[in-house]
Structure 1
C-alpha cells in the first residue's frame, strides 16, 4: 500500500476585529496566514495551492520575494522564517528572532536579499536584515508605538516607509537603512503604507479615514485625496501593476478604486453592512485581480471594469474543522463544521455556506444517511438537519437536553446523540423519542450505529453494544480491547466489523457478529484518535489523531499500514473517504487535504 499527496482545499485568512489582515501577491497567487499555517493560493488554478506549517507560534504575515524563489513569514513571537517556495520540501533557508513581540508586516527589497520586519517591541519596533546571514542592514527607528506596516521602494536608490500607531510615518533611506524624516499627516493610527511598483509614489491610509500620496524618492507629501472619502477606518491599500491606480479597504464596508492622475475615486464597491462586511485587507495581483478581505473571512474578487458587486466570492473555513462527513449520493462532496459554528458544503472545487439558520457555536458532530441526509449537532445544544440537494438547513431543529458530544444515525434514519451529563438521546423525524441517563458504570463519549445496533464508548475503556427496537435501547454486551478512554468508534459499511480507538492511540478491531476481538495491532498513533473511516469494501480503515498523523490499516494484514505523517498541523479532527481510493483529512488548521491511496493486492 502507498499514498500520494492530492489536492489541498485551503482555509481562508484569519481576521481580528479592529486590526488589518495582511495579504500579499505574487503573479496570480495570493499569500496569507491562518493560525500556524501559511497559504499560497493560486486564484486561477486551485489545485496549485500549497501550505506551509513550519511556525511554532501563530503566523501573522507572509510575503513572497520578488524573485519568487523564497517566502518570508513571521509569527506572534517575533520570528521570521525564510523558506523555499520552489521545492516540495519547502526547505528552510533561515530563521531569525528579530523582535520581542508580534510581527505586523514584512517587506522585501527589489534584489530579494534584504527584509524589513516591523511590529510590537520595547526598545525597537522594526529590524532590517540580510536573509543569508541575518545580519543587520540598517536601523528602523523613530517610532514610539507598534509599527503596523512597512513598504520598500523596489528600485535603487532604495527607500522604506513605516507606519505606526503613534500616528507617524517614518521615511528611511537605504540600504543600509537609516532615518530620514518623520511624516505627520495622519491624526490617528496609520494602518497601511504601500509603494507603487514604479517607485515614484507611495500611499498611506489610517484610522482617521484619510488617504495621502507621497513622493517615492524624497518622502515629500504630495496630496491628500479628499474626493468621495471613506467614512470609517481604512485598513489596507494596494497598487495596480502599472502604478496608475490603487485600492483601499475600509471598516465602512466599501472598497474604493482611486485614479492617481485625477486623484478621485473611480469606482466604489459596497459589500453590505455590519461587522462581518468590514473590509480588513486587500491585494492587487499582477494578473489584475482585485482582492479584498471581509471580516467574516470572505475573499471578494473584483473586476475594475465592473463597478457593482464582486465577480467572485471565495468562502472557506476560518476556524478549526471540528467535524466533516462525505455525501454518499454525490461524488467529491462533503460537509464541514467548524469551531465557530459555521457549516460549509464543498462540491466541485469551492466551498459554499450551508444556507439557513445554523449553529451559533462549535459544531461537535456530523453524520449522514445512505440517502444523503446530513445531521449536525453543536455546542448551542441543537440537532439540525441539512438538505443535501439544496445545501441548506431544513426548518426542522430539535433541542438537546445537554451539550452534544457525538452523533450517529442508523439505517432507518434514527439519530443517536451522546451528550454531556452522561446522557444518550434518540430522535426520529425531528422528535425526541427516547432518553437514557446515567448508564451504570459508563461515562459515554462516542457513538456509532449500524442498522439497529448502537456502539457506545466511554471512560471505562469498553465499547458497549446496544439494540434499538424502535422504542428503547437494550444493552447486549460489552467489548474489551482498549486500555484508555474510548475516543472514536466506527462500524464498517456492511456492519461486519467494528473499530474502537482510545486516547492512547490504540485501536481494537472486532467481529460484530461473533462479538470477538480480532486484533489490537493497529497501534501506531501516539495520541488520542479522533476519527475513523472505513472503505466501502470494509477491507481498510483510515484513522486520524491529535498526533497530526493519518494511518490506513488493512483488515486482512493487520501489521501493514500506510503512514501519512504530519497530515494536519495541530492535529487531525476528521478523516473520510471521498472516493474508493481518495482519502481526505481535516483538522485544526481549517484545511482539508486529500491523499490518493494505492491498495496492493
Structure 2
C-alpha cells in the first residue's frame, strides 16, 4: 500500500534573508522574506483559482497576519497581530502587536512615523482625532473592534464582559451590551455586517446583539458539530444541547442531556443518530418524525470521543478518541465491536470513510494520517508528517484512491492512495 502527494511545484529562493517583512519577488510570484530558517507558512493564492497556492515557510515563528499591497504585487506578513493598508493615495500602513502598540507608516516605501495607542486617527494624515471613551473605554482589555457600514460608529468587544457601540463624531457610548458575570462571558471578537451585530464570548457562544434591547441578545448560537441526513434532517450538537432541524427549521431539542456532546453522525438510512460524548461513550437516538428518541444504548470508546462516522453503506460506525484508538462497530450485529485500530501516538482528531467501505482514514495530533483496512488492522498506509507544520484538521475522500487533508498550516493536500 502506497501513497503519493499531488501539489503545485514550488521553486523557492533559499537565500539567507534576515530583515523582517521585506517583500521579495521571485519568478512572477510574490511573498515576504524574513528569518533565515523555516517556520510556519504564508500562502499566496491567485484570486482566479484558489485551488492553486504557493506556501512560504521562511518565517522563524508563527505567522499571524499578511496583507497585500494596493498594487497586488507584494505581501507584507509577520508576527504582529494585525495589519492594514490604506487603499488610496497617499498610501499608509498601520500595524498592531502584542507590545500594546500600534505603529503608523508612511510610504511607499513604508517608513516608520510614530507609535500609537488605542485612539481614533485620521487615516490620511495619521493625526490623532480622539481617545475612544477618554482614558478608559472599557474596564478590561479590548480584544476586537468593527466599523459600522457608514463608518460613523464602532463596535468594540472587551474582557470586561461587555460590547459597546461608539459614536465616533461625538466620542460617546451609544449602547452597552452586558453579556454576563462569568469569566466565560468575556467578549473576544465582534463583527458589524450590514444590519447584524455579532460578538463572540470566551465560551464559544456567538451572540446576535439587539440595539433596541442591549440587555438580551436576539439569539445565541453555540454549535460544536453538524450532521446532515436524508429527508431534510439536520442534527446539531452544542454546548449542553442537541438540536434537530427539519428542512432548516428547528423542531426539537434536548437541553442539558446529562453529558457533554462533542460530535454527531447520521446513519445513511436516516433513521439513527450517533452522538459521541466527552465521557467516552456514544449514544444512539432514533429520528421519529420531528423528535429524537434516546435508544438507551451506550457504545464504549477508549476515551473522550473526538470524531465518528458511518460507512457509506451504513454497515459500520467508526469512532476515534483522545486515547489514540479507532473502534469500529458493526451495525448488523447490534453495534457490537468489530475491530480496534492502534497506531497513532497522540489524540486522533478526525476520520473519514473511503467510498469502497473497506478503508477509512484517520488523522491525529501526531502529524500522521493512517489509511486503515477494515478487515485487517495490520494492513495500513502510514502518511508521516502529512502536514509538516501542524496536525491534520479534517479528511475527505474524492474517490477510492484520492484522499484530501487539511491543516491549520493553511494548506490543503491531495494524496493518491494505492492499495
Whether TM-score is above 0.5 comes out as: yes
Taking a change above 3 Å as real, the CA distance of residues 47 and 499 of structure 1, as seen in their structure-2 partners, is: closer
2:227 paired with 1:408: yes
TM-score where L is the length of structure 2: 0.59
Work out whether residues 404 and 414 of structure 2, in 8 Å CA contact, stay in contact via their aligned partners in 1: yes
The reply on whether 1:28 has 2:28 as its aligned counterpart is yes
Q: 1:593 aligns with which of 410, 413, 417?
A: 413
Aligned counterparts of 1:402 and 1:596: Cα–Cα separation in 2: 38
Calculate the TM-score normalised by the size of structure 1: 0.42
TM-fit CA distance, 1:435: 0.8
Residue among 362, 375, 380 paired with 2:206: 380
User: How big is the shift at 1:565?
Assistant: 2.1
1:483 to partner: Cα distance: 2.1
Whether contact under 8 Å (2:355, 2:399) holds in the other structure is no
Equivalent-residue separation in structure 2 for 1:357 and 1:409 (angstroms): 29
- Matched residues in 2 for 1:207 and 1:410: separation? 57
- Decide whether aligned partners of structure 1 residues 492 and 273 sit closer, same or farther in structure 2, where only a CA change above 3 A counts: same
User: Residues 579 and 24 (structure 1 numbering): CA distance in 2 closer, same or farther, change over 3 Å?
Assistant: farther
In structure 2, what is the Cα distance between the partners aligned to 1:458 and 1:2? Answer: 34
Q: Which aligned pairs between 1:10-89 and structure 2 lie closer than 5 A?
A: 23-32=23-32, 36-39=40-43, 49-51=53-55, 53=57, 57-59=61-63, 76=79
Q: 2:343 matched to 1:517?
A: no
Contact 1:9 1:591 in 2 (8 A): no
Per-residue CA distance 1:246-299 (angstroms, 9 max, x = gap): xxxxxxxxxxxxxxxxxxxxxxxxxx997xxxxxxxxxxxxxxxxxxxxxxxxx
Following superposition, the deviation at residue 505 of structure 1 comes to 2.1
Shift of 1:340: 9.1
Aligned counterpart in structure 1 of residue 378 of structure 2, from 559, 564, 577: 559
Question: How far off is 1:498 after superposition?
Answer: 0.5
Q: Does 1:575 align with 2:392?
A: no
Are residues 571 and 470 of structure 1, via their aligned partners in 2, closer, same or farther at CA, if it must alter by over 3 Å?
A: same
- The runs of 5 or more residues in structure 2 that have no matched partner are 11-19, 67-75, 84-96, 115-122, 127-148, 152-187, 209-217
Matched residue SS, 1:566: coil
Report the counterpart of residue 446 of structure 1 in structure 2. 263
Which residues of structure 1 form unaligned runs of 5+?
A: 11-19, 63-72, 77-100, 105-119, 121-145, 147-164, 166-187, 194-203, 209-229, 234-271, 275-338, 343-355, 363-377, 383-398
The structure whose Rg is larger is 1
C-alpha displacement of 1:542 = 1.4
Q: Contact 1:544/1:575 (CA < 8 Å) preserved in 2?
A: yes
Q: How far is 1:41 from its partner?
A: 6.4
Given candidates 244, 248, 251, the residue that maps to 1:426 is 244
**What is the Cα deviation at residue 43 of structure 1?**
9.3
Deviations 1:452-506 (A, max 9, x none): 1100111221111111111322223535442211011111111111011111221
Where in structure 2 are the equivalents of 1:357-506 lying within 5 Å?
379-380=205-206, 402-420=221-239, 422-440=240-258, 442-450=259-267, 451-506=270-325
Q: Relative to 1, partners in 2 of residues 1:56 and 1:43: Cα closer, same or farther, differing over 3 Å?
A: same
Note the C-alpha offset of 1:525: 2.1
